[in-house]
Chain A
C-alpha cells in the first residue's frame, strides 16, 4: 500500500484522567523551561524515545555534556503508543480468554461475566504513568541531561535550531523514530480511523472493529479486541500473517485468531470506505470477489515509516530517503561523520530492543572511538499474540537463500510436560543449526511465553554455546523452557550413529 500522509501530532494533549495527567507531567510537562544552552554539546540527541533515552543517559553517565531534544512526549511510541499500553491490555485479554476456558480446568465461571473496558484502560494508564516516572523530564534533568522540548532542525554540519534556540554539537544522534504508515484507501480519512497513536485513547469498547494490516500490531490488537468482546475482523493483503515469520508460526497465529472469533480476511485489500447510518462501510476485495462489511471502528497497522521529515537533513549533509529513513553504515554513522542515527529512523527492524542496542553502539562509536557494528548484534524479537511468536537469528529460508545447509530441531509444545499441565500446548520450539555442527543459527518459538523462552537461545548464540552443549545444562523441571533442553537432547541423539552404538555396546560387554 502506498503511504500517504502521516497522522499529525497534536500540539497539546488534554489529560483524560489523573493517571494520564501524571504521565503527561512526566513525559511532556506543561510550562517546562528549556535550559540555557551550553556553547557546545559533546552529544546532541534528537528524539527522546527508547534510543534517545538510552544514548542520553549512557553518555551523561560517562561525563559527556548531553542535549536531548523532544518534539512531543518522552518515551516515544514504546511508552505512550506502543509496547507498554498494548502489553497491559494484552494481559487483560489473556485473563478473559482463560476465563472462557475455565471449565476445562475445573473452575465454574458465572454464566455471563462482565467486562469493564474502562477499568482495563484505566489499569493501562496507571501502568504507563508508573513506568513514565523513571525517565521523567525531572529525572533526566537530574541526571545532568539538558532536555529541550521543541522541534529540531539542522542548520549546518554541526548546528541545530530548536524553536529559535541555536545548539552546537561535536556529535549528534538522530533518533526520531517512525510513524504509522497510512493505507491509501479512498474514503478512509473522511470516515476516520485509529492508529496505534489513537487506539489507546478509546473510551468505549467498539462494538465492531476492522483491523487493516496483519503484522505484529494488527494481530496483537485484533486478538485483544476480540477477547474484549468486539466483533473483530482483520484484513491482510498477503496469504499469511506476520510476513517476516516462518509459515508454521504465521499459521498458528491465524489459527489462534480464529479460535478467538476474529473474522479473518487474507489476500484481502480494502478498496473503499464510506459512512452509512453512523457506521463505516468497507469494501474488501479478495481474489476478484468483493464483499462489504460494516464496522464501528477501523484500526490500521500496515507498517511504519521513518520519521525523517522536517529535520532539514540536507543542511547537515545527511543522506536520507523516505523508505529507509536516515542512511547509515554498519557503524550507524551517517554521511556526515559527526552525525549518527539509531532506532526506527534508520533501521529495518523496528523494535524497542533494537533501538536501545543501536543507541549503545552509537555512544561508543561517536564518543569513544568505538568500531562496533550493528550487524554483529544478535537481536531477538517477539509478537505478543497468544501464543507469542518469538525469533532470533537466521530464518531457515534466509539460510537456504545463502546456501547454508541447515537442520531444524523441532519440539512441539504438546510434547512438553509443563505445557501440557498448564494447558498451553499450542506452539513449538524450533532451533535451526548449521548442518554437520551444533552451531545455533537461529530459532523460532511459538508458545504462551515465547518471549521469555527466546532469551536463553539468544544468550547461547551470543556466548557461542552450541545446541549439544545446551544439553549439559541442567534445567528446572517441569518448565516450558525445558522444550529447549528437549531440542538439545534430540541434537545429541543424532550423534549416536550406529557405529558409536556398537562401540558403546562392545565397551559395556567387555
Chain B
C-alpha cells in the first residue's frame, strides 16, 4: 500500500511539471498556477524517486536544474507582475511565464519550503559531474539570496507571512506555534541575511502548552502545522529551550497532536458522519463549498479550501487524507488503521459538481461510470461524508475533492519515505546551514 501511495503521489510531479522551467502546478485542475511550495516538494521528491528507482538520476538532475536556473534568472524586481524580490517569491506563478498570478502574496513560508527543497536536492546530488555541481551552486546561491531579515516585520521582529507590492507586509499576527519551524531554521542559518535570535523568541512567545483530553502538548489546530517542517527536519532527540523546559521534543509533540486529533474525532462533538477512532485528520485542504445543511440538528456551513483544525475548528466534516499519511511516522499504531480504512474505500464516480459526488455502493455495478482507484480518498485533498449529494438509490454518498493538490502529494511522498527509510532526514542532517540555524534557535542534543 505504501509503495503504491508513494508512487502514485510522485507521478503528480512527473505529470504536472513544465519541464522547460521546472514549475509545478498547484493542483491538477485546469488553469492552476504553479505553487512555489509544491516546487519545493518536487525538488525533495526527486531524490526519493531516484532512490526508489522510479526515475533515472540524470532525469532528476535535469528537472532540478531547470527549476533552479529558472529561479536564478527570474524577475526579482518585486513589481506587481514579477517573480519575486529580496530572494523571496510570489506564492503562485504562471506555469509558463513564471510571473506572479492571482495577485498572490510574496510568501515567506512558501519560499522557505521551496528553499528547503533546493537544499535537499543539493544535499542528495553530491557528485562531481558538471550538472550536479551546477545544481549545488545554484541552490546555495538562491538560499544565500534570500533576505530573511527584510521579512522580520511581525511583533518582536518575527517573520511576516507575506508581502504585497500593493500594500506592503501583511498583518496576520503570524506567530507560533505553526509550520514555520523550518523557515526559522533556514533563516537563522543564513550566512548572508540571518534572522535575529530575537525573531525566534518572538515567534515562540505565543506558544501554548496545554493538557487537552489528558494529553500534554504544544497546541496547533490543523495537523499540517505539526507535520510540514518534519518533512525535512528530524526533530527526534533535539530540543530548543521550550522543549527542554517541557521535557519533550517537536517529534514527540507531533505524535501527541495526532493523538489529540483522534480523540477529537472519537468525541465528534459536531456529529459528522464517518468520524471515529479510525477516521480523523483535520488540516489545510479543499472541502465542499455547498449550501449550508442540517448536520446533527445544527445548521452547518461548508468552508471550501480552509485550514481546518481540532478541537476548535473550523470543522465541517472534511478529512484530509494526506495528513493521516504524514501521521504515520509519528504514531503508526493509530495512523495505520486509519490509512487502511481510507485506502480500502471503494467508490463509484457519478458526475461532478464542484467536488466529485461519489456514491459508495455495496455490490451494485449498474449505472456506474467507473470504480475509483484504491487510495483515491488518500490522494484527494479532502473528503466529507456529511456533504454527499442525495442519491436515488440506497447508496451512501460522500463528497470528494476534485483532482489532486501538489502539497498533499508532496507530503505523501516525503513522509512515507521518512517512515520507510528516513532519507529526507538523513539528507538534511548534513546541511550545514540548517544545523547552524537550529543551533542558533537554541536546539541541542542528538545529531546537532
- A residues apposed to B, CB below 8 Å: 103-104, 238-240, 246-248, 251-252, 255, 267, 287-289, 396-397, 400-401, 405-410, 412, 414-415, 425, 428, 430, 435, 490-491, 493-494
Q: How far is the CB of B268 from chain A (nearest CB, A)?
A: 9
Q: Are A415 and B267 in contact (CB under 8 A)?
A: yes
B170 within 8 A of A: yes
List chain B residues, Cβ under 8 A from A252: 312
Contact of B298 among A104, A240, A407, A409 (CB under 8 A): A104
Q: How far is the CA of A360 from the CA of B207 in the complex (A)?
A: 37
B207, B209, B298, B313 interface centre (most CB from chain A within 10 Å): B209
Give the interface segment out of B182-190, B210-218, B348-356, B418-426: B210-218
Q: Are B167 and A288 in contact (CB under 8 A)?
A: yes
Cβ contacts B200-233/A at 8 Å (1 or 0 each):
0000111111111110100000000000000000
B393 within 8 A of A: no
9 nearest A-B pairs in the assembled complex, by CB-CB distance: A288-B167, A288-B166, A414-B269, A104-B297, A408-B210, A239-B173, A410-B212, A410-B210, A409-B211
Nearest opposing residue in chain B for A396, CB measure: B208
Nearest opposing residue in chain B for A436, CB measure: B245
Q: How far is the CB of B264 from chain A (nearest CB, A)?
A: 9
Q: How far is the CB of A260 from chain B (nearest CB, A)?
A: 11
Q: How far is the CB of A238 from chain B (nearest CB, A)?
A: 7
Q: How far is the CA of A252 from the CA of B211 in the complex (A)?
A: 19
- B residues apposed to A, CB below 8 Å: 164, 166-167, 170-173, 204-214, 216, 245, 267, 269, 297-298, 311-314
Q: How far is the CA of A405 from the CA of B171 in the complex (A)?
A: 28
Q: How far is the CA of A428 from the CA of B310 in the complex (A)?
A: 13
List chain A residues, Cβ under 8 A from B297: 103-104
Nearest opposing residue in chain B for A237, CB measure: B171
Q: How far is the CB of A437 from chain B (nearest CB, A)?
A: 14
Q: How far is the CB of A140 from chain B (nearest CB, A)?
A: 46
Given contacts A252-B312, A401-B205, A414-B267, contact A409 B210 (CB under 8 A): yes
Q: Are B209 and A408 in contact (CB under 8 A)?
A: yes
Contact of B171 among A239, A289, A491 (CB under 8 A): A239
Q: Are A410 and B269 in contact (CB under 8 A)?
A: no
Q: Are A287 and B206 in contact (CB under 8 A)?
A: no
Q: Are B312 and A425 in contact (CB under 8 A)?
A: no
Q: How far is the CB of B169 from chain A (nearest CB, A)?
A: 10
List chain B residues, Cβ under 8 A from A251: 312
Given contacts A287-B167, A406-B209, A408-B209, contact A248 B172 (CB under 8 A): no
Q: How far is the CA of A400 from the CA of B207 in the complex (A)?
A: 8
List chain A residues, Cβ under 8 A from B170: 267, 287
List chain A residues, Cβ under 8 A from B209: 406-408
Q: Are A412 and B269 in contact (CB under 8 A)?
A: yes
Q: How far is the CB of A163 from chain B (nearest CB, A)?
A: 48
List chain B residues, Cβ under 8 A from A409: 210-211
Q: How far is the CA of A240 from the CA of B174 in the complex (A)?
A: 11
Q: How far is the CA of A255 from the CA of B313 in the complex (A)?
A: 9
List chain B residues, Cβ under 8 A from A104: 297-298
Q: Are A238 and B171 in contact (CB under 8 A)?
A: yes
Q: Are B210 and A425 in contact (CB under 8 A)?
A: no
Q: Are A407 and B269 in contact (CB under 8 A)?
A: no
Given contacts A407-B216, A408-B210, A494-B211, contact A240 B267 (CB under 8 A): no
List chain A residues, Cβ under 8 A from B214: 490, 493
Q: Are A410 and B171 in contact (CB under 8 A)?
A: no
List chain B residues, Cβ under 8 A from A407: 209-211, 216
Q: How far is the CA of A195 from the CA of B75 in the complex (A)?
A: 49
Q: How far is the CA of A255 from the CA of B312 in the complex (A)?
A: 10
Q: Are B211 and A397 in contact (CB under 8 A)?
A: no
List chain B residues, Cβ under 8 A from A408: 208-211
> Apart from A255-B313, A397-B205, A408-B211, what are 6 other A-B pairs with CB-CB below 8 Å?
A247-B173, A287-B170, A400-B204, A400-B205, A428-B312, A494-B211
Q: Are A288 and B211 in contact (CB under 8 A)?
A: no
Q: Are A247 and B206 in contact (CB under 8 A)?
A: yes
Contact of B173 among A240, A406, A491 (CB under 8 A): A240
Contact of A425 among B164, B208, B245, B269 (CB under 8 A): B269
Given contacts A400-B207, A406-B209, A430-B210, contact A267 B312 (CB under 8 A): no
Q: Are B211 and A435 in contact (CB under 8 A)?
A: no
* 24 chain-A/chain-B pairs, Cβ below 8 angstroms: A239-B171, A239-B172, A248-B312, A252-B312, A255-B313, A267-B171, A267-B172, A287-B170, A288-B164, A289-B166, A396-B208, A397-B205, A397-B206, A400-B206, A407-B209, A407-B211, A408-B211, A410-B212, A412-B269, A412-B311, A414-B267, A414-B311, A415-B267, A430-B210
